[in-house]
Structure 1
Amino acid sequence: MTEILIRKAEKKDLPAIQRLLSTYFLDIEELEPEDFVLAEEEGKVVGCAALIRNRSGEKTFMELHSIAVHPNLRGKGIGTRLMEYLINTIDEPEISEAPALELYVRTTAPGFFEKLGFIMVQNTEKLLLWEDCRNCEHFGKCAQHSMRYFRVS
């Protein structure tokens, strides 16, 4: 495998992001290309992940979103590199100056995130964080696991 470059996405990367996300039936709804970081191999986008600020009631939180790696390159550490890049380069002023870092993710691949230090959250916390979960008819049998990453600075 050649070298993988991790970088912030730009507007011109939108078609490549959409193509990769469509492989997994994910969409870019309410996300901007600038929310993403990309993994590139020989100038081709082979992975992406977004970090967004989300809000639920009084709580504002950071959420990892729309994480995808090209199917032929899964299991080669690209997803881990994307997550580590996001976790280690968060430049949100109120987050980076805070005494702790807290990130959330909803995923169908909990094992991947457990390896990165994420832990499962209870359904009660899931309902507090995500309004779409509160209104979902599939809540009790949802395939998505809600997880949290917490690190004290």
Structure 2
Amino acid sequence: MSEAGSAVLPDGGKVTIRHARREDLPTLVALFAADSLGGHGDTSDPVAAGDYLAAFEEIERSPNDRLYVAELAGEVAGTFQTTLTRTLTGRGSLKMTVEAVQTRADLRGRGIGAAMIRFAIEEARRAGARQVQLMSNAVRVDAHRFYERLGFAKSHVGFKLKL
């Protein structure tokens, strides 16, 4: 998997996509905590810091998971995570799942999200994946249009069971 990539945004700005670092963690947590639609229960409360650090370290150690940030003018503007999964279906195909896609609210509409997704797609191709998949909360109608503009199709119904 690539260490970094960059893209020129429609407004001429340059976004750099790189692996997340430990020092990015407070910014990423704040980004998730600010998401009122996600329903994930994320919080910037210092009591939860250990949970986020443990998750970050596990992701960092995993050979199949990558956590990325998109930087604009030296600041974290967005984030996403990828996971590669080998399955027996599709003749043993490799799939990439894209998770936790977030762009800072004040920077949406500038092309940062599209740059992150295009980067993920290219990483999937480099890894030899046959498919890129993602799930989006049913209430995120704008996000659904965004993913469809990038070539994704609604093809499955997802189910979740909270434990």
**TM-score bracket for this pair, using the shorter chain length:** 0.5 to 0.7
Q: Kindly tell me: are residues 4 and 70 of structure 1, through their superposed partners in 2, closer, same or farther at Cα, counting changes over 3 Å? A: same
Q: What is residue 50 of structure 1 aligned with on the other side?
A: 81
Q: Which residue identity lines up with residue 86 of structure 1 in the other structure?
A: A
2:107 pairs with one of 63, 73, 93: 73
What is the count of residue pairs matched by the alignment? 122
1:88 pairs with one of 122, 127, 135: 122
Q: What is residue 45 of structure 2 aligned with on the other side?
A: none
Q: Kindly tell me: are residues 115 and 21 of structure 1, through their superposed partners in 2, closer, same or farther at Cα, counting changes over 3 Å? A: same
CA–CA distance in 1 between the matches of 2:156 and 2:112?
28
Classify the secondary structure of the residue corresponding to 1:75: coil
> Which consecutive residues of structure 2, in runs of 5 or more, have no partner in the other structure?
1-10, 43-51
Deviation at 1:12, TM superposition (A): 2.6
Q: Kindly tell me: are residues 120 and 44 of structure 1, through their superposed partners in 2, closer, same or farther at Cα, counting changes over 3 Å? A: same
Q: What is residue 32 of structure 2 aligned with on the other side?
A: 21
Q: What is residue 135 of structure 1 aligned with on the other side?
A: 161
Tell me, yes or no, if the aligned pair for 2:69 and 2:78 is still in contact at 8 Å. Answer: yes
CA–CA distance in 1 between the matches of 2:81 and 2:145?
19
Tell me, yes or no, if the aligned pair for 1:20 and 1:46 is still in contact at 8 Å. Answer: no
Deviation at 1:54, TM superposition (A): 5.2
User: Which 4+ runs in 1 deviate beyond 3 A?
Assistant: 25-31, 53-56, 58-61
CA–CA distance in 1 between the matches of 2:86 and 2:55?
13
What is the TM-score of this pair, normalised by structure 1?
A: 0.65
CA–CA distance in 1 between the matches of 2:83 and 2:153?
19
Q: Does 1:105 align with 2:139?
A: no
Structure number with higher strand proportion: 1
Classify the secondary structure of the residue corresponding to 2:124: coil
Deviation at 1:74, TM superposition (A): 0.5
What is the TM-score of this pair, normalised by structure 2?
A: 0.61
- Percent identical residues: 24
- CA distances 1:99-138 after superposition (whole Å, capped 9, x unpaired): xx20111113211110111001232xx3xxxxxx2536xx
CA RMSD of aligned residues (A): 2.9
CA–CA distance in 1 between the matches of 2:95 and 2:150?
19
Q: Kindly tell me: are residues 134 and 73 of structure 1, through their superposed partners in 2, closer, same or farther at Cα, counting changes over 3 Å? A: closer
Q: 1:22-37 maps to which residues of 2 (within 5 A)?
A: 22-24=33-35, 25=38, 26=40, 27=42, 32=59, 35-37=66-68
